């Protein structure tokens, strides 16, 4: 027999009667929606969120849960399962991800925990930007033990909880294989970020001019003749920029990016052009050893155009370093000069400039806003995890100390996946920090990167019995202190948007 709390009974009666929900502490009042004769809202049943539905109609029947009655009020209390998320999607279009398009600024808000999207929604609500709430790479799924179904479920339920109807996206991030692309599209992801890094010839990027000339001469003669006629020793004038493509540089671009362009074209024709629905198709050439100079960007963009590929956005690898969870490292003046041309190229070809590893790059945000005229895509992920850790450090210092110690002991394992230049020896020893000082670790770059890159290790660590070392307590703490975590996200991501002019 299922025990129902008095709070849930009161919520069911109010829902059935059409009474205001705002005064009920366990009800997420913004979630209220109606479908046919059914009324539904998100409620908290103890520490768990659930769907509460009354009415007996099609939605009521489709949702799986426990039925009960109180007087004349019959209701169903439903867990937040994958099947129930699909039923919710069928009833309410706004709970599905959709393509946002090239005219609106977007921010990717990777939520590795499945707990951040309500805070993200509160942050973007009313602003001239749309959230890509479900944004995860296959690497992130592997490191956290989640699936794309889990990611979509969490985002969709958060959208319902907050009653957010302005539109949101779901990004299959940094996908490299046809299998992963098919997986994301089959589930309804509205954005696909194609990672072409495995098709980019980094060796050609650093080879001598003589080696480049030798290898270039081995390429197909008709291809060489065409690109030389189109690009070699030419200057391309576009609004806001002038781009020169020298003959030697062209040879290098053909070697570095030629195979990648063919890969992009094949994926576009196979999956995007035939999808039967709008897909925001982003092309990533940022996770390579080769910085993308503006002329290289022009070459890739123009080659895609002649093949009929229309990207939603492109992510070049900018000069300097965009490391995880800290501000930009590099020459700001050079970055501004090159950014202005990258943005002009994007405008010329009709897509958005995308900035990857965009978390916490506060020094360059005003420049991104300026040169893109506020039309950009920015990806964040790890910073949302760090705000969760900051919250835990503030409210559960014992847990934070154990996580920090484990991260420090296992960071070498994480360095297999992430490039950072942090000096972990400069992190203040835990023994010297009071509990009140623990959140300050998230304000120090070396400590931020320590915790940032070890997220997968921390979330999957187990003791000798197979029990979670940290994950269960970490999640329980954040669920219990959801308002604190939301406030941290609103403040931190809000600072990103403020500097981006949103």
Active-site amino acid positions? 173, 282
* Residues 215 and 204: beta-carbon distance below 8 Å: yes
What percentage of the chain's residues is helix, strand, coil (to nearest 5)?
Answer: 50, 20, 30
β pairing state of 73-78 and 352-355? unpaired
Return the half-sphere exposure (C-beta side, CA atoms, 13 A cut-off) of residue 478.
Answer: 27
Which among 445, 365, 458, 355 has a CA at the least distance from the CA of 404?
Answer: 458
Provide the token pair at 218: 């081995």
Contacts of 60 (CB under 8 A, 6+ apart): 38, 53, 54, 76
- Helix/strand/coil (H/E/C) assignment for every residue in 308-329: CCCCCEEEECCCCECCCCCCCE
H or E element in which residue 192 lies: strand 191-195
Q: How many CB atoms lie within 10 A of CB 222?
A: 8
Provide the token pair at 270: 């196979």
Residues in the chain: 502
* Residues 441 and 405: beta-carbon distance below 8 Å: no
Based on the number of CB atoms within 10 Å of its own CB, is 173 exposed (0-12), middle (13-18) or buried (19 or more)?
A: buried
């Amino acid at each position: 027999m299922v025990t129902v709390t008095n709070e849930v009974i009161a919520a069911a009666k109010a829902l059935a009667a059409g009474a205001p929900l705002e005064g009920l502490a366990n009800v997420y009042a913004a979630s209220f929606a109606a479908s046919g004769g059914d009324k539904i809202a998100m409620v908290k049943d103890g520490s768990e969120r659930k769907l509460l539905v009354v009415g007996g109609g099609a939605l009521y029947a489709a949702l799986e849960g426990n039925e009960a009655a109180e007087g004349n009020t019959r209701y169903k209390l439903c867990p937040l399962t994958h099947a129930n998320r699909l039923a919710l999607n069928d009833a309410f279009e706004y709970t599905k991800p959709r393509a946002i398009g090239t005219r609106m600024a977007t921010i990717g808000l990777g939520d590795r925990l499945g707990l951040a999207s309500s805070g993200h929604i509160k942050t973007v609500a009313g602003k001239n930007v749309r959230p890509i709430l479900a944004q995860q790479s296959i690497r992130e799924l592997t490191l956290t033990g989640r699936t794309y179904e889990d990611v979509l479920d969490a985002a969709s339920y958060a959208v319902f909880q907050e009653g957010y109807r302005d539109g949101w996206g779901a990004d299959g991030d940094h996908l490299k294989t046809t299998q992963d692309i098919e997986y994301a599209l089959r589930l309804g992801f509205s954005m696909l970020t194609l990672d072409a890094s495995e098709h980019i010839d980094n060796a050609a990027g650093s080879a001598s001019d003589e080696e480049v000339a030798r290898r270039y001469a081995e390429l197909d003669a008709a291809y060489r003749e065409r690109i030389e006629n189109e690009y070699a020793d030419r200057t391309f004038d576009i609004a806001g920029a002038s781009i020169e493509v020298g003959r030697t540089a062209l040879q290098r671009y053909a070697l570095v990016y030629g195979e990648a362009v063919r890969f992009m074209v094949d994926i576009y024709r196979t999956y995007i052009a035939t999808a039967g629905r709008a897909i925001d198709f982003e092309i990533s050439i940022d996770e390579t050893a080769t910085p993308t100079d503006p002329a290289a960007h022009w070459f890739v963009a123009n080659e895609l155009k002649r093949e009929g590929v229309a990207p939603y956005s492109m992510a070049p690898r900018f000069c300097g370093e965009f490391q995880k969870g800290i501000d930009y490292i590099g020459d700001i003046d050079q970055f501004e000069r090159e950014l202005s041309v990258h943005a002009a190229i994007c405008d010329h070809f009709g897509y958005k400039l995308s900035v990857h590893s965009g978390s916490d790059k506060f020094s360059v945000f005003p420049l991104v806003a300026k040169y893109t005229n506020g039309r950009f895509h920015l990806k964040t992920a790890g910073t949302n995890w760090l705000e969760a850790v900051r919250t835990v450090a503030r409210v559960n210092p014992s847990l934070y100390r154990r996580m920090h110690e484990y991260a420090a002991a296992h960071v070498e394992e994480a360095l297999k996946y992430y490039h950072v230049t942090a000096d972990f020896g400069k992190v203040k020893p835990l023994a010297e920090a009071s509990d009140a000082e623990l959140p300050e670790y998230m304000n120090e770059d070396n400590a931020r990167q320590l915790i940032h890159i070890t997220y997968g290790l921390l979330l999957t660590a187990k003791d000798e019995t197979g029990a979670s070392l940290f994950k269960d307590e970490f999640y329980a703490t954040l669920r219990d202190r959801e308002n604190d975590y939301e406030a941290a996200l609103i403040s931190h991501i809000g600072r990103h948007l403020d500097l981006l002019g949103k």
